[in-house]
A and B are shown apart, each in its own frame.
Chain A
Amino acid sequence: MINNELNKLDSGLLDIIADFDQTSVGAYNVRKNGQSVQRSSTENVTITSKTDKAGIDIFIKPGTKNETIYIPVIITESGVEEMVYNDFFIGEDSDVLIVAGCGIHNCGDQKSEHNGVHTFHIGKNARIKYVEKHYGDGDGNGERIMNPQTKIFMDENSHCEMETVQIKGVDSTVRENTAALKAGATLILTERMMTHGDQTANSDVLISLDGEGASARVISRTVAKDNSVQVFYPKVIGNSACKAHVQCDSIIMDNAKVRSIPEISANHPDAQLVHEAAIGKIAGEQLIKLMTLGLNEEQAEEVILQDFLR
């Protein structure tokens, strides 16, 4: 029998990853330990279970404005491994906020793993903002693994802002984002990540600017601490008169390793593509400046990292 009740631990995780609680307004689907435990549709947003595999379809009616859709996932048992497919069909001219997120609390010794594939079909002139937070905790030896994939198909003049955040506790992550943009579509992809301990994180981005006037910005800010390893591979292909800016910034600390390999590739003479990448430690001057404001060295470091990942 499925326990549909959300306990205190669940609520804590939901709050961290999605600012979600029982009073949140909008359509939602809460997935816990491999099962949908709570769901609500609204007049404009319909959520249905997939029949051929795990996951849900989310239909947003054309012209839907100012609605928020929550689809958090939590894993609180050790040894849960899942592969979930969530497909979003976003109607023309709509304007919505989608809050996703995955929290794993693993107190056991077996690994807990969430693999999610989110596909977005964004209609003409539609605007979406997608926010995704990843978080892990629990004092067991079991690994906490998250491998998210997003596939974005953007119709003409649509707009998508995607923010992904992974701040703590995920042992291993392989992230894959792909997007294809038609004429006039704009995509802003922001990634924030902090790894610590022996964690590893790989992030691949592949954006294809196919239509005239399409534009994309990729902003990646990461902090690598302890012995963690990060690899970034953002790639933007310009197939038309389009614009793109890729910016990868990493702060490296302790014995961490960071590889950043931005690639821009133009197949059209009017494609304007720019990339910037930087890896470096916190500058001594920055610490000194904050210490002259009364912070000690640890506090100064904390403030610098917090703002950098903001």
Chain B
Amino acid sequence: MLELKNVCFEIESEKGKIKIINDISLTLDDGKFVVITGPNGSGKSTLAKLIMGIEKPTSGQILLDGTDITNMSINERANLGIGYAFQQPPRFKGMTVRALLSLAHGSELPEHECCTYLTNVGLCSKDYLNREVDTGLSGGEVKRIEIATLMARELKLAIYDEPEAGIDLWSFAMLVDSFKAISKNKHESVIIISHQERIMKLADEIVILENGKIKKQGAQEELFSAILSELQNECDFGRDKEE
């Protein structure tokens, strides 16, 4: 179980302190599939980075299975079973896709297992295993490999930061299927930051962030229709013509 207690994250700017995350408390039960959504700049990625340890909260507490991990390093959290798929993954010259997947897995991965993970994200595995994760791959390819590195791990909590960004429609369908399988398995808790309807529909729970705070939180069935109607009401463009 993941618990966030009154977590705040501030940064210094020319205009003084800015609260990126403003007093967020959240509990994520084991095996739950949660989608965090909200407008750009609402603090979604920062929240994910705080859970992974890439950023440290200015105040508040983060607990995993009752253990306070607030001051733990990134790798300590990783070894406790937290994983994070970057929104914009870095590239590595000389590192093959297979080596990266093996590194994620924690031991040398047999070819057929590598292939399964790559197929799950819509990549034809044979073509990719020995390619380097460098500038020779497109943004969408690197992104899908990033997602595969998380799937190759045994995790308690997997965090995906906008997995759909930069991915074409065909691969996206594949990705949704993979997330569907994960959500059915219920082995690990999953947090996905996403704006995609089809991903939101897989969730047990949806959290809407706005200005660093939780605006709404609840079961997918309740919140999903509310989000859609809210979005439709927000945009007045073209409405005059119909009236």
User: Is A bound to B?
Assistant: yes
CB distance from A194 to the nearest CB of B (A): 13
* A294 and B99 within 8 A (CB): no
Residue on B with the closest CB to A297?
B75
Interface string of B111-149 (1 = CB under 8 A from A): 000000000000000000000000000000000000001
* B149 and A293 within 8 A (CB): yes
CB distance from A304 to the nearest CB of B (A): 7
Question: Which positions 209-254 of chain A face chain B at CB distance < 8 Å?
Answer: 221, 249
Task: Say yes or no for A25: interface residue by CB 8 A criterion.
Answer: no
Task: Say yes or no for B173: interface residue by CB 8 A criterion.
Answer: no
Chain A residues with Cβ below 8 Å from B54 are: 288, 292
- How large, as a class, is the contact surface on chain B? 20 to 34
* A292 and B83 within 8 A (CB): yes
CB distance from A253 to the nearest CB of B (A): 15
Chain A residues with Cβ below 8 Å from B83 are: 292
Residue on A with the closest CB to B104?
A293
Residue on A with the closest CB to B146?
A289
Chain A residues with Cβ below 8 Å from B79 are: 294
Q: A216 to B75, alpha carbons, bound, how many Å?
A: 43
- How large, as a class, is the contact surface on chain A? 20 to 34
CB distance from B143 to the nearest CB of A (A): 13
* B78 and A293 within 8 A (CB): yes
Q: A77 to B220, alpha carbons, bound, how many Å?
A: 75
Chain B residues with Cβ below 8 Å from A310 are: 94
Task: Say yes or no for B71: interface residue by CB 8 A criterion.
Answer: no
Question: Which positions 81-110 of chain B face chain A at CB distance < 8 Å?
Answer: 83-84, 86, 89-90, 92-95, 99, 103-104, 106
* B93 and A292 within 8 A (CB): no
Which single member of A285, A288, A290 contacts B103 (CB below 8 Å)?
A290
Q: A296 to B77, alpha carbons, bound, how many Å?
A: 11
* B90 and A307 within 8 A (CB): no
Task: Say yes or no for B74: interface residue by CB 8 A criterion.
Answer: yes
* B94 and A307 within 8 A (CB): yes
- Known A-B contacts A289-B89, A293-B104, A294-B106; A221 and B75 likewise in contact (beta carbons under 8 Å): no
* B74 and A291 within 8 A (CB): yes
A interface residues with partner B (beta carbon < 8 Å): 221, 249, 283, 285-286, 288-297, 303-304, 307-310
